[in-house]
Structure 1
Amino acid sequence: MKHMIQPFGIDMYNKVLTDTKSSKHMSFYEADKSGMPDNFTISFIPSYTTEWIICYNDGNDKSEFICAGSQNKLTELSLNVFDHYFGVRFDNTGCYFNKGCNAKTYPVNITDNVFRYEPVPDSYELQLVKDFHKSLTFKDRITLFKTFVTDCKTFCPVSESIKELNNLIYSGAGTVAELSAESEYSVRHISRLYNKVYGIGAKDFIKMYRFQNVLAEIITNPDRDNSFFIEGTGYSDQAHFQREFKAFTGTTPKQYIKLIKNF
Protein backbone atom coordinates (compact mmCIF):
# COMPACT_ATOMS: atom_id res chain seq x y z
CA MET A 1 0.00 0.00 0.00
CA LYS A 2 1.49 3.31 -1.04
CA HIS A 3 1.88 6.01 1.59
CA MET A 4 1.74 9.76 1.22
CA ILE A 5 3.80 11.78 3.67
CA GLN A 6 2.57 15.15 4.90
CA PRO A 7 5.09 17.91 5.56
CA PHE A 8 3.20 21.16 4.81
CA GLY A 9 0.09 19.57 3.35
CA ILE A 10 -0.36 16.15 1.82
CA ASP A 11 1.61 15.24 -1.30
CA MET A 12 -0.92 13.24 -3.26
CA TYR A 13 1.22 11.63 -5.92
CA ASN A 14 2.03 14.04 -8.73
CA LYS A 15 -1.43 15.60 -8.93
CA VAL A 16 -1.08 17.94 -5.98
CA LEU A 17 -1.61 21.68 -6.39
CA THR A 18 -0.71 24.01 -3.55
CA ASP A 19 -1.35 27.58 -2.56
CA THR A 20 0.42 28.71 0.61
CA LYS A 21 -0.12 32.47 0.36
CA SER A 22 -3.80 32.81 -0.37
CA SER A 23 -5.14 33.49 3.10
CA LYS A 24 -4.17 34.38 6.62
CA HIS A 25 -4.17 31.34 8.93
CA MET A 26 -4.40 28.74 6.13
CA SER A 27 -2.70 27.18 3.15
CA PHE A 28 -4.41 24.98 0.57
CA TYR A 29 -3.76 21.97 -1.62
CA GLU A 30 -5.86 19.61 -3.70
CA ALA A 31 -5.54 16.40 -5.65
CA ASP A 32 -7.66 13.95 -7.64
CA LYS A 33 -7.82 10.16 -7.56
CA SER A 34 -5.86 9.58 -10.79
CA GLY A 35 -3.59 6.58 -10.36
CA MET A 36 -4.56 5.98 -6.74
CA PRO A 37 -5.37 2.48 -5.40
CA ASP A 38 -8.78 1.61 -3.97
CA ASN A 39 -7.47 2.16 -0.46
CA PHE A 40 -4.50 4.26 0.49
CA THR A 41 -2.90 5.72 3.57
CA ILE A 42 -1.65 9.16 4.53
CA SER A 43 0.84 9.74 7.31
CA PHE A 44 0.56 12.85 9.46
CA ILE A 45 4.00 13.90 10.65
CA PRO A 46 3.97 15.24 14.25
CA SER A 47 3.00 18.90 14.08
CA TYR A 48 1.31 21.67 16.08
CA THR A 49 -1.10 22.52 13.24
CA THR A 50 -4.62 21.42 12.33
CA GLU A 51 -5.51 19.98 8.94
CA TRP A 52 -8.83 19.47 7.17
CA ILE A 53 -9.44 17.26 4.14
CA ILE A 54 -12.66 17.52 2.16
CA CYS A 55 -13.25 14.39 0.06
CA TYR A 56 -15.94 14.58 -2.61
CA ASN A 57 -17.16 13.12 -5.91
CA ASP A 58 -18.26 14.53 -9.23
CA GLY A 59 -21.89 13.93 -10.12
CA ASN A 60 -23.18 13.08 -6.63
CA ASP A 61 -23.15 14.45 -3.10
CA LYS A 62 -21.19 11.60 -1.53
CA SER A 63 -18.47 13.26 0.54
CA GLU A 64 -16.48 13.11 3.75
CA PHE A 65 -14.93 15.82 5.95
CA ILE A 66 -11.80 14.93 7.93
CA CYS A 67 -10.36 17.12 10.68
CA ALA A 68 -6.96 16.15 12.10
CA GLY A 69 -5.81 18.03 15.15
CA SER A 70 -2.15 18.52 15.97
CA GLN A 71 -0.39 15.16 16.38
CA ASN A 72 2.25 14.23 18.93
CA LYS A 73 3.33 11.13 17.04
CA LEU A 74 3.35 9.81 13.48
CA THR A 75 -0.29 9.03 12.69
CA GLU A 76 -1.56 6.96 9.76
CA LEU A 77 -5.00 7.44 8.29
CA SER A 78 -6.69 5.37 5.59
CA LEU A 79 -8.62 7.43 3.05
CA ASN A 80 -11.59 6.24 1.05
CA VAL A 81 -11.50 6.78 -2.68
CA PHE A 82 -13.20 9.93 -3.93
CA ASP A 83 -12.85 11.87 -7.16
CA HIS A 84 -11.30 14.86 -5.41
CA TYR A 85 -9.50 15.88 -2.21
CA PHE A 86 -9.36 19.50 -1.06
CA GLY A 87 -7.01 20.12 1.83
CA VAL A 88 -6.52 23.00 4.22
CA ARG A 89 -3.64 23.33 6.65
CA PHE A 90 -4.11 25.95 9.36
CA ASP A 91 -1.14 27.69 10.93
CA ASN A 92 -0.36 27.66 14.65
CA THR A 93 -2.13 30.95 15.44
CA GLY A 94 -5.44 29.28 16.28
CA CYS A 95 -8.24 26.99 15.11
CA TYR A 96 -11.67 27.21 13.55
CA PHE A 97 -14.51 25.77 15.63
CA ASN A 98 -18.29 25.81 15.38
CA LYS A 99 -20.16 29.08 15.80
CA GLY A 100 -20.97 29.92 19.38
CA CYS A 101 -17.96 28.18 20.89
CA ASN A 102 -16.02 29.64 23.80
CA ALA A 103 -13.64 32.31 22.47
CA LYS A 104 -10.78 30.67 24.37
CA THR A 105 -11.18 27.28 22.72
CA TYR A 106 -7.62 26.24 21.89
CA PRO A 107 -6.09 23.65 19.54
CA VAL A 108 -5.52 21.40 22.59
CA ASN A 109 -9.22 20.47 22.35
CA ILE A 110 -8.51 18.35 19.25
CA THR A 111 -4.84 17.41 19.79
CA ASP A 112 -4.11 13.78 18.85
CA ASN A 113 -7.62 13.36 17.45
CA VAL A 114 -8.93 12.76 13.94
CA PHE A 115 -12.63 13.44 13.31
CA ARG A 116 -14.46 12.10 10.25
CA TYR A 117 -18.05 12.77 9.26
CA GLU A 118 -20.36 12.71 6.24
CA PRO A 119 -22.28 15.95 5.65
CA VAL A 120 -25.99 15.77 6.38
CA PRO A 121 -28.69 17.31 4.13
CA ASP A 122 -29.08 21.09 4.39
CA SER A 123 -25.76 21.48 6.22
CA TYR A 124 -23.17 24.13 5.41
CA GLU A 125 -20.74 21.31 4.64
CA LEU A 126 -22.96 19.71 2.02
CA GLN A 127 -23.65 23.10 0.45
CA LEU A 128 -19.88 23.62 0.17
CA VAL A 129 -19.58 20.31 -1.69
CA LYS A 130 -22.40 21.35 -4.04
CA ASP A 131 -20.60 24.66 -4.64
CA PHE A 132 -17.36 22.76 -5.37
CA HIS A 133 -19.25 20.85 -8.08
CA LYS A 134 -19.94 24.12 -9.89
CA SER A 135 -16.47 25.60 -9.41
CA LEU A 136 -14.00 25.71 -12.28
CA THR A 137 -10.63 26.37 -10.67
CA PHE A 138 -8.58 25.75 -7.53
CA LYS A 139 -8.75 29.48 -6.82
CA ASP A 140 -12.56 29.34 -6.97
CA ARG A 141 -12.62 26.52 -4.41
CA ILE A 142 -10.30 28.45 -2.09
CA THR A 143 -12.69 31.41 -2.24
CA LEU A 144 -15.66 29.13 -1.55
CA PHE A 145 -13.91 27.61 1.46
CA LYS A 146 -13.11 31.02 2.91
CA THR A 147 -16.79 31.97 2.64
CA PHE A 148 -17.72 28.66 4.27
CA VAL A 149 -15.58 29.22 7.39
CA THR A 150 -16.70 32.84 7.63
CA ASP A 151 -20.37 31.85 7.52
CA CYS A 152 -20.40 28.86 9.86
CA LYS A 153 -17.16 28.74 11.87
CA THR A 154 -15.41 30.89 14.48
CA PHE A 155 -11.66 31.46 14.50
CA CYS A 156 -10.30 31.11 18.03
CA PRO A 157 -6.79 32.57 18.33
CA VAL A 158 -4.10 31.32 20.68
CA SER A 159 -3.26 33.45 23.70
CA GLU A 160 -1.16 36.60 23.41
CA SER A 161 1.48 34.99 25.65
CA ILE A 162 1.88 32.12 23.20
CA LYS A 163 2.09 34.51 20.25
CA GLU A 164 4.90 36.36 22.02
CA LEU A 165 6.79 33.14 22.77
CA ASN A 166 6.29 31.80 19.24
CA ASN A 167 7.79 34.99 17.82
CA LEU A 168 10.87 34.42 19.99
CA ILE A 169 11.16 30.90 18.56
CA TYR A 170 10.87 32.24 15.02
CA SER A 171 13.60 34.74 15.87
CA GLY A 172 16.01 32.01 16.92
CA ALA A 173 15.24 30.88 20.49
CA GLY A 174 16.08 27.18 20.28
CA THR A 175 15.48 25.94 23.82
CA VAL A 176 12.94 26.51 26.58
CA ALA A 177 15.74 28.02 28.68
CA GLU A 178 16.40 30.60 25.94
CA LEU A 179 12.67 31.35 25.77
CA SER A 180 12.67 31.95 29.49
CA ALA A 181 15.75 34.19 29.32
CA GLU A 182 14.21 36.30 26.54
CA SER A 183 10.76 36.59 28.10
CA GLU A 184 9.29 37.32 31.53
CA TYR A 185 8.22 33.70 32.08
CA SER A 186 9.80 30.81 33.99
CA VAL A 187 10.61 27.53 32.25
CA ARG A 188 7.80 25.82 34.15
CA HIS A 189 5.26 28.49 33.23
CA ILE A 190 6.25 28.36 29.55
CA SER A 191 5.73 24.59 29.43
CA ARG A 192 2.38 25.03 31.18
CA LEU A 193 1.29 27.62 28.59
CA TYR A 194 2.14 25.39 25.61
CA ASN A 195 0.41 22.38 27.11
CA LYS A 196 -2.68 24.48 27.81
CA VAL A 197 -2.89 25.82 24.24
CA TYR A 198 -1.45 23.09 21.99
CA GLY A 199 -1.45 19.98 24.16
CA ILE A 200 2.32 19.65 23.77
CA GLY A 201 5.21 20.99 25.82
CA ALA A 202 7.31 23.95 24.70
CA LYS A 203 10.29 21.64 24.11
CA ASP A 204 8.27 19.50 21.70
CA PHE A 205 6.87 22.59 19.98
CA ILE A 206 10.41 23.83 19.32
CA LYS A 207 11.45 20.39 18.10
CA MET A 208 8.50 20.23 15.68
CA TYR A 209 9.17 23.76 14.43
CA ARG A 210 12.83 22.94 13.79
CA PHE A 211 11.99 19.69 12.04
CA GLN A 212 9.26 21.13 9.82
CA ASN A 213 11.65 23.85 8.65
CA VAL A 214 14.36 21.31 7.84
CA LEU A 215 11.78 19.18 6.02
CA ALA A 216 10.75 22.17 3.91
CA GLU A 217 14.41 22.66 2.91
CA ILE A 218 14.74 18.99 1.97
CA ILE A 219 11.66 19.16 -0.24
CA THR A 220 12.96 22.32 -1.92
CA ASN A 221 16.51 20.99 -2.44
CA PRO A 222 16.42 17.17 -2.20
CA ASP A 223 19.79 16.71 -3.92
CA ARG A 224 21.80 18.50 -1.24
CA ASP A 225 23.75 16.73 1.50
CA ASN A 226 22.15 16.32 4.93
CA SER A 227 24.82 18.54 6.49
CA PHE A 228 23.42 21.46 4.50
CA PHE A 229 19.93 20.98 5.92
CA ILE A 230 20.92 20.80 9.59
CA GLU A 231 23.56 23.55 9.68
CA GLY A 232 22.59 26.10 12.31
CA THR A 233 19.27 24.42 13.13
CA GLY A 234 20.09 23.09 16.59
CA TYR A 235 20.92 19.48 15.77
CA SER A 236 24.08 18.43 17.61
CA ASP A 237 25.26 16.10 14.84
CA GLN A 238 24.13 13.83 11.99
CA ALA A 239 23.18 11.04 14.38
CA HIS A 240 20.87 13.40 16.29
CA PHE A 241 19.23 14.46 13.03
CA GLN A 242 18.87 10.87 11.80
CA ARG A 243 17.21 9.76 15.05
CA GLU A 244 14.75 12.63 15.05
CA PHE A 245 13.96 12.20 11.37
CA LYS A 246 13.13 8.50 11.88
CA ALA A 247 11.00 9.33 14.93
CA PHE A 248 9.00 11.98 13.04
CA THR A 249 8.54 10.26 9.68
CA GLY A 250 9.04 6.56 10.31
CA THR A 251 11.73 6.51 7.64
CA THR A 252 15.29 7.72 7.03
CA PRO A 253 16.24 10.97 5.25
CA LYS A 254 17.58 8.94 2.31
CA GLN A 255 14.37 6.92 1.99
CA TYR A 256 12.23 10.04 2.36
CA ILE A 257 14.16 11.90 -0.35
CA LYS A 258 13.72 8.93 -2.67
CA LEU A 259 9.99 8.99 -1.91
CA ILE A 260 9.49 12.68 -2.70
CA LYS A 261 11.57 12.39 -5.87
CA ASN A 262 9.16 9.69 -7.05
CA PHE A 263 6.36 12.27 -6.85
Structure 2
Amino acid sequence: MKSIVNIRQFYTPIQPAARKIGGNVNYNEFFPDVRLQKFIYCYWQLETRDKLIDEYKYRVDSDGCIDVFFELENPQENFVMGFSKTFVEFPLEDKFNYIGIRFLPAVFTQIFKINAEELNSQCENLHFIVPSLSKFIEQSFHDKLVAEELVQILDCYFLKVVYQNTIMSDSRFNTALEIILKKKGMLHIEKDIDAGISSRQLRRLFEFYIGDSAKTFSKVVRFQNILKANCLKQESKYTDLLYDSGYFDQSHFIKEFKCFYGETPSVIFNE
Protein backbone atom coordinates (compact mmCIF):
# COMPACT_ATOMS: atom_id res chain seq x y z
CA MET A 1 0.00 0.00 0.00
CA LYS A 2 1.42 3.37 -1.01
CA SER A 3 1.56 6.19 1.51
CA ILE A 4 -1.11 8.91 1.30
CA VAL A 5 -1.43 12.19 3.16
CA ASN A 6 -3.04 11.75 6.59
CA ILE A 7 -5.53 14.53 5.96
CA ARG A 8 -7.23 14.14 9.32
CA GLN A 9 -4.27 15.61 11.23
CA PHE A 10 -4.66 18.88 9.29
CA TYR A 11 -8.33 19.03 8.38
CA THR A 12 -11.68 18.40 10.08
CA PRO A 13 -14.65 18.70 7.69
CA ILE A 14 -17.80 19.61 9.58
CA GLN A 15 -21.47 19.94 8.73
CA PRO A 16 -22.85 22.61 11.10
CA ALA A 17 -26.25 22.69 9.39
CA ALA A 18 -26.67 18.96 10.07
CA ARG A 19 -25.52 19.29 13.66
CA LYS A 20 -28.23 21.89 14.35
CA ILE A 21 -30.97 19.47 13.33
CA GLY A 22 -33.57 18.91 16.03
CA GLY A 23 -37.21 18.07 16.55
CA ASN A 24 -38.28 14.88 14.81
CA VAL A 25 -35.07 14.57 12.77
CA ASN A 26 -31.89 13.17 14.26
CA TYR A 27 -28.31 13.39 12.89
CA ASN A 28 -25.34 11.51 14.36
CA GLU A 29 -21.73 10.90 13.32
CA PHE A 30 -19.71 7.82 14.23
CA PHE A 31 -15.94 7.51 13.93
CA PRO A 32 -14.60 4.47 12.07
CA ASP A 33 -11.95 2.09 13.37
CA VAL A 34 -8.77 4.02 14.16
CA ARG A 35 -7.00 2.19 11.31
CA LEU A 36 -9.48 3.73 8.88
CA GLN A 37 -9.43 7.28 10.18
CA LYS A 38 -6.95 8.62 7.62
CA PHE A 39 -9.34 7.41 4.90
CA ILE A 40 -12.84 7.96 6.28
CA TYR A 41 -13.78 10.96 8.39
CA CYS A 42 -17.00 9.47 9.72
CA TYR A 43 -20.06 7.36 9.16
CA TRP A 44 -23.29 9.30 9.62
CA GLN A 45 -26.97 8.63 10.16
CA LEU A 46 -29.86 10.97 9.34
CA GLU A 47 -33.24 9.68 10.47
CA THR A 48 -36.72 10.71 11.47
CA ARG A 49 -37.98 9.85 14.93
CA ASP A 50 -41.60 10.15 13.82
CA LYS A 51 -43.27 10.74 10.48
CA LEU A 52 -43.01 14.41 9.48
CA ILE A 53 -45.90 16.61 8.44
CA ASP A 54 -44.12 17.77 5.27
CA GLU A 55 -41.13 16.72 3.19
CA TYR A 56 -37.74 17.62 4.66
CA LYS A 57 -34.94 19.63 3.05
CA TYR A 58 -31.49 18.44 4.13
CA ARG A 59 -28.70 20.94 3.47
CA VAL A 60 -25.09 19.82 2.94
CA ASP A 61 -22.37 22.45 3.22
CA SER A 62 -19.22 22.41 1.06
CA ASP A 63 -16.55 20.32 2.80
CA GLY A 64 -14.30 18.94 0.02
CA CYS A 65 -15.39 15.35 0.72
CA ILE A 66 -17.10 12.62 -1.27
CA ASP A 67 -19.99 10.83 0.43
CA VAL A 68 -21.62 7.48 -0.23
CA PHE A 69 -25.14 7.16 1.17
CA PHE A 70 -28.24 4.97 1.14
CA GLU A 71 -31.63 4.58 2.79
CA LEU A 72 -31.52 1.79 5.35
CA GLU A 73 -34.96 0.48 4.36
CA ASN A 74 -33.97 0.48 0.69
CA PRO A 75 -30.20 -0.28 0.52
CA GLN A 76 -30.34 -1.50 -3.07
CA GLU A 77 -30.60 2.17 -4.06
CA ASN A 78 -27.26 3.67 -3.06
CA PHE A 79 -25.55 6.81 -4.24
CA VAL A 80 -22.30 8.78 -4.29
CA MET A 81 -22.10 12.58 -4.00
CA GLY A 82 -18.98 14.22 -5.41
CA PHE A 83 -17.09 17.38 -4.48
CA SER A 84 -19.29 20.46 -4.53
CA LYS A 85 -18.21 24.11 -4.49
CA THR A 86 -21.63 25.22 -3.28
CA PHE A 87 -24.04 24.02 -0.62
CA VAL A 88 -26.54 21.39 -1.79
CA GLU A 89 -30.11 20.78 -0.64
CA PHE A 90 -31.72 17.34 -0.82
CA PRO A 91 -35.53 17.14 -0.64
CA LEU A 92 -36.40 14.08 1.44
CA GLU A 93 -39.65 12.26 2.18
CA ASP A 94 -41.61 12.62 5.42
CA LYS A 95 -39.95 9.46 6.84
CA PHE A 96 -36.35 8.29 6.24
CA ASN A 97 -33.27 6.64 7.73
CA TYR A 98 -30.12 7.44 5.75
CA ILE A 99 -26.66 6.03 6.36
CA GLY A 100 -23.56 7.69 4.90
CA ILE A 101 -19.79 7.24 4.59
CA ARG A 102 -17.85 10.52 4.41
CA PHE A 103 -14.49 9.96 2.72
CA LEU A 104 -11.79 12.52 3.43
CA PRO A 105 -10.74 14.63 0.40
CA ALA A 106 -9.02 12.64 -2.39
CA VAL A 107 -9.44 9.30 -0.60
CA PHE A 108 -12.38 7.97 -2.63
CA THR A 109 -10.35 8.46 -5.81
CA GLN A 110 -7.26 6.82 -4.33
CA ILE A 111 -9.11 3.77 -3.01
CA PHE A 112 -11.43 3.09 -5.93
CA LYS A 113 -9.39 4.65 -8.76
CA ILE A 114 -12.28 6.87 -9.83
CA ASN A 115 -11.78 10.22 -11.57
CA ALA A 116 -13.32 12.64 -9.05
CA GLU A 117 -13.97 15.24 -11.74
CA GLU A 118 -16.67 12.96 -13.17
CA LEU A 119 -18.53 13.35 -9.85
CA ASN A 120 -18.07 17.12 -9.51
CA SER A 121 -21.33 18.52 -8.09
CA GLN A 122 -23.05 15.28 -9.08
CA CYS A 123 -25.08 12.72 -7.18
CA GLU A 124 -24.76 9.42 -9.06
CA ASN A 125 -26.05 5.89 -8.66
CA LEU A 126 -23.18 4.05 -6.93
CA HIS A 127 -23.75 0.92 -9.02
CA PHE A 128 -22.38 2.71 -12.08
CA ILE A 129 -19.34 4.12 -10.23
CA VAL A 130 -18.17 1.35 -7.84
CA PRO A 131 -20.29 -1.78 -8.46
CA SER A 132 -18.55 -3.82 -5.74
CA LEU A 133 -19.31 -1.26 -3.03
CA SER A 134 -22.88 -0.91 -4.25
CA LYS A 135 -23.38 -4.68 -4.09
CA PHE A 136 -21.90 -4.85 -0.59
CA ILE A 137 -24.35 -2.23 0.65
CA GLU A 138 -27.30 -3.92 -1.01
CA GLN A 139 -26.48 -7.30 0.53
CA SER A 140 -25.31 -6.20 4.00
CA PHE A 141 -27.87 -3.74 5.32
CA HIS A 142 -31.46 -3.72 6.49
CA ASP A 143 -33.61 -1.52 8.71
CA LYS A 144 -33.28 -3.70 11.83
CA LEU A 145 -29.60 -2.87 12.35
CA VAL A 146 -28.62 -0.56 15.21
CA ALA A 147 -25.79 2.00 15.05
CA GLU A 148 -23.13 -0.23 16.63
CA GLU A 149 -23.86 -3.00 14.11
CA LEU A 150 -23.75 -0.56 11.20
CA VAL A 151 -20.33 0.71 12.24
CA GLN A 152 -18.98 -2.82 12.69
CA ILE A 153 -20.16 -3.94 9.24
CA LEU A 154 -18.69 -0.86 7.56
CA ASP A 155 -15.39 -1.15 9.45
CA CYS A 156 -14.92 -4.81 8.47
CA TYR A 157 -15.57 -4.08 4.81
CA PHE A 158 -13.33 -1.01 4.48
CA LEU A 159 -10.47 -2.54 6.46
CA LYS A 160 -10.37 -5.31 3.86
CA VAL A 161 -10.61 -2.82 1.00
CA VAL A 162 -7.77 -0.53 2.09
CA TYR A 163 -5.38 -3.24 3.24
CA GLN A 164 -5.90 -5.68 0.39
CA ASN A 165 -5.59 -3.16 -2.42
CA THR A 166 -2.85 -0.87 -3.69
CA ILE A 167 -3.86 2.69 -2.92
CA MET A 168 -3.25 4.93 -5.92
CA SER A 169 -1.32 8.03 -4.88
CA ASP A 170 0.78 10.78 -6.50
CA SER A 171 3.59 12.38 -4.52
CA ARG A 172 3.25 15.71 -6.38
CA PHE A 173 -0.44 15.90 -5.53
CA ASN A 174 0.25 14.86 -1.93
CA THR A 175 2.79 17.68 -1.56
CA ALA A 176 0.37 20.30 -2.86
CA LEU A 177 -2.52 18.95 -0.78
CA GLU A 178 -0.50 19.05 2.43
CA ILE A 179 0.59 22.64 1.78
CA ILE A 180 -3.02 23.77 1.27
CA LEU A 181 -4.22 22.03 4.41
CA LYS A 182 -1.36 23.30 6.58
CA LYS A 183 -1.99 26.86 5.38
CA LYS A 184 -5.73 26.40 6.03
CA GLY A 185 -6.54 27.38 2.46
CA MET A 186 -4.97 30.82 2.86
CA LEU A 187 -2.37 30.91 0.08
CA HIS A 188 -1.58 31.98 -3.44
CA ILE A 189 -1.69 28.77 -5.47
CA GLU A 190 0.95 29.70 -8.06
CA LYS A 191 3.38 31.26 -5.57
CA ASP A 192 3.01 29.07 -2.49
CA ILE A 193 2.82 25.59 -3.97
CA ASP A 194 6.11 24.13 -5.17
CA ALA A 195 5.35 20.56 -6.18
CA GLY A 196 7.69 20.46 -9.16
CA ILE A 197 4.91 20.71 -11.74
CA SER A 198 3.25 23.38 -13.87
CA SER A 199 0.02 25.12 -12.88
CA ARG A 200 -1.78 23.20 -15.63
CA GLN A 201 -0.53 19.86 -14.30
CA LEU A 202 -1.50 20.88 -10.77
CA ARG A 203 -5.02 21.71 -11.93
CA ARG A 204 -5.34 18.34 -13.67
CA LEU A 205 -4.17 16.47 -10.57
CA PHE A 206 -6.65 18.27 -8.32
CA GLU A 207 -9.48 17.77 -10.77
CA PHE A 208 -8.69 14.05 -10.84
CA TYR A 209 -8.18 13.48 -7.10
CA ILE A 210 -10.47 16.15 -5.58
CA GLY A 211 -12.94 16.97 -8.34
CA ASP A 212 -12.06 20.63 -8.89
CA SER A 213 -9.07 22.97 -9.07
CA ALA A 214 -6.57 23.56 -6.25
CA LYS A 215 -7.87 27.14 -6.00
CA THR A 216 -11.47 26.05 -5.50
CA PHE A 217 -10.47 23.39 -3.00
CA SER A 218 -8.42 25.97 -1.06
CA LYS A 219 -11.50 28.19 -0.76
CA VAL A 220 -13.49 25.29 0.69
CA VAL A 221 -10.66 24.51 3.15
CA ARG A 222 -10.59 28.15 4.26
CA PHE A 223 -14.38 28.12 4.68
CA GLN A 224 -14.25 24.94 6.75
CA ASN A 225 -11.55 26.39 9.00
CA ILE A 226 -13.71 29.46 9.55
CA LEU A 227 -16.52 27.19 10.71
CA LYS A 228 -14.14 25.62 13.21
CA ALA A 229 -13.10 28.92 14.70
CA ASN A 230 -14.07 29.33 18.33
CA CYS A 231 -14.46 33.11 18.36
CA LEU A 232 -17.89 33.45 16.77
CA LYS A 233 -19.81 35.27 19.47
CA GLN A 234 -18.54 38.86 19.51
CA GLU A 235 -18.69 41.32 16.62
CA SER A 236 -15.07 42.45 17.12
CA LYS A 237 -13.88 38.86 16.97
CA TYR A 238 -15.99 38.30 13.86
CA THR A 239 -14.07 41.14 12.17
CA ASP A 240 -10.75 39.70 13.32
CA LEU A 241 -11.75 36.32 11.96
CA LEU A 242 -12.59 37.82 8.59
CA TYR A 243 -9.14 39.39 8.17
CA ASP A 244 -7.27 36.51 9.81
CA SER A 245 -8.79 34.25 7.17
CA GLY A 246 -7.29 36.31 4.35
CA TYR A 247 -10.34 38.35 3.36
CA PHE A 248 -9.87 42.08 2.81
CA ASP A 249 -13.41 42.82 1.68
CA GLN A 250 -16.43 42.04 3.86
CA SER A 251 -18.84 41.78 0.93
CA HIS A 252 -16.54 39.21 -0.74
CA PHE A 253 -16.44 37.21 2.48
CA ILE A 254 -20.23 37.25 2.86
CA LYS A 255 -20.80 36.26 -0.77
CA GLU A 256 -18.36 33.35 -0.62
CA PHE A 257 -19.64 32.16 2.76
CA LYS A 258 -23.24 32.17 1.53
CA CYS A 259 -22.21 30.17 -1.54
CA PHE A 260 -20.66 27.43 0.62
CA TYR A 261 -23.10 27.52 3.54
CA GLY A 262 -26.43 28.60 2.07
CA GLU A 263 -26.88 31.46 4.54
CA THR A 264 -24.97 34.60 5.48
CA PRO A 265 -22.24 34.34 8.16
CA SER A 266 -24.38 36.36 10.59
CA VAL A 267 -26.56 33.26 11.03
CA ILE A 268 -23.84 31.35 12.85
CA PHE A 269 -21.84 34.29 14.24
CA ASN A 270 -24.89 35.63 16.09
CA GLU A 271 -26.01 32.30 17.55
State the TM-score, normalized to the length of structure 2.
0.72
Q: Distance in 2 between matches of 1:9 and 1:159?
A: 34
162-171 or 46-55: which moved more? Answer: 46-55
- Report the counterpart of residue 160 of structure 1 in structure 2: 171
- The Cα RMSD (Å) is 3.5
Q: Which amino acid aligns with 1:107?
A: A
**Which structure shows the higher strand fraction?**
1
The answer to whether the 8 Å contact 1:106/1:158 transfers is: no
Matched letter for residue 78 of structure 1: P
CA contact (8 A) 2:71 2:77 kept: yes
CA deviation after TM superposition for structure 1 residue 76, in Å: 2.3
For the residue of structure 2 that corresponds to 1:140, the secondary structure is helix
- 1:202 aligned onto 2:214: yes
Q: Deviation per CA, 1:25-51: give whole Å up to 9, x if none.
A: 111222320264442122333343101
Say which of 46, 49, 54 aligns to 1:31: 46
The answer to whether the 8 Å contact 1:56/1:82 transfers is no
* Higher RCO, Cα 8 Å, sep 6+: 2
Alignment of structure 1 residues 99-138 onto 2, 5 Å: 104-116=113-125, 123-130=135-142, 133-135=144-146, 138=147
Displacement of 1:92 in angstroms is: 0.9
The corresponding residue for 2:224 is 212
Alpha-carbon distance change, 63 to 242 in structure 1, aligned in 2, over 3 angstroms: same
SS at match of 1:244: helix
Unaligned runs of 5+ in 2: 1-13
1:217-238 C-alpha deviation (Å, 9 max, x unpaired): 3xx6653442243342222233
Q: Which one of the candidate residues 179, 191, 204 is aligned to 2:203?
A: 191
Deviations 1:176-213 (A, max 9, x none): 12333x33233333223222333311111111111111
Look up the match of 1:56: 72
Q: 2:88 aligns with which of 71, 75, 81?
A: 75
Question: Do the aligned partners of 1:128 and 1:145 also contact (CA within 8 Å) in 2?
Answer: no
How many aligned positions are there?
A: 239
2:115 & 2:138 partners in 1: Cα distance? 26
The aligned amino acid for 1:161 is R
SS at match of 1:133: coil
Shift of 1:65: 2.4
Determine which of 189, 206, 213 is the counterpart of 1:176.
189
